[in-house]
Amino acid sequence: MTVSRQHRWALRLALACMLLPAPRASRAEEPVQLEYRFHAGDRIDMEVRHRALTETTIGSTRQATETATDSRKTWQVVAVDDDGRATLEQSVDEVRMTSRTSDRGEITWSSSDSSAPPPGYENVRQSLGVPLTRLVIDRAGRILERHDLRPVPPANTGDLVVVPLPDDPIMVGSTWTVPDELVVEAPHAGRKAVRTRLRYQVEAIEDRIATISVDTTVLTPVDDPRLEARLLERIWDGTIRFDIDRGRVSSRSTTTDRRVVGFEGPQSSIRYKASLEEHVIERPE
């Protein structure tokens, strides 16, 4: 059998590849320090998309409420001291809100509408374009001071720009935990402080962007379903993307889907399912 010149070259190439030394494992990544790097005058614009479904069953009666809120928020960096402590003020510039219930139909309102807000939304317009919250944070995102300049509901997922960071450098697989305390209350059930723990883990570092997962664990036993139902909106899991070079969070997505049985008697249940997506709007430099 005659072997063609092309086949002989292929055989030689295969033999040469077999004799090459095995490639070395890539060098282990260097630890990276995560920290915030704000500058006085910085303006951080964000788009926020929130969707929620609440299903309530009491006996044979079932009711479902869906809400959708799309908003544009701004964090203004008022000052930064020599130690990197930053003073930030948050405002909401525009919002579109939709509420749909199984018994009353759908209501939609946008801040761009010239018409008066529908019942339940009357105070929204007065809260647009003005500072709502002022925070003082350190480089690790620890909140040193907080002042609510206008009445605001408790944030169920914290504030985007102040995700807490670890003091030590991180690598893929690094974890850290942050304790928190939530106060819940319900009619005829009193008021209770509930300890929780947020656990963060670095899932990937690519192109100087750290992808971090987070989950929440409730540490305090909550035996009363009425109080447990009040926790539904404030326990969440999610994913955060942190821009290492710019020193700030670039996006976050969170989800929750939980149910409580017996909050209004043995034949009752409530389910809360929600998603939240936030990302920084990049401005031309």
Domains of the chain: 30-280 (2.30.230)
Kindly state the helix (H) or strand (E) to which residue 230 belongs, with its residue range. Answer: helix 225-231
**Using CA atoms, how far apart are residues 167 and 139, in angstroms rounded to an integer?**
9
Q: Helix, strand or coil for residue 54? A: strand
pTM for the structure as a whole: 0.84
User: Measured between alpha carbons, how far is residue 255 from residues 83, 154, 162, 177, 233 in Å?
Assistant: 35, 17, 19, 19, 10
Q: Are 180 and 164 in contact (CB under 8 A)?
A: no
What pLDDT score does 23 carry? 44
| Residue whose C-alpha is closest to residue 271's, from 65, 130, 107, 41 | 65
What pLDDT score does 104 carry? 80
Please give the share of the chain, as a percent, with pLDDT higher than 70: 86
- Choose the most confident range, by mean pLDDT, from 3-17, 104-118, 242-256: 242-256
pLDDT tens-digit readout, 26-47 = 334 789 999 999 999 999 999 9
What pLDDT score does 222 carry? 94
What pLDDT score does 209 carry? 96
Q: Are 239 and 277 in contact (CB under 8 A)?
A: no
**For the stretch 197-207, what's the b/e string if a residue is b when 16 or more beta carbons lie within 10 angstroms of its beta carbon?**
ebebbbeebee
Q: Six-digit token pair at 250?
A: 């670039």
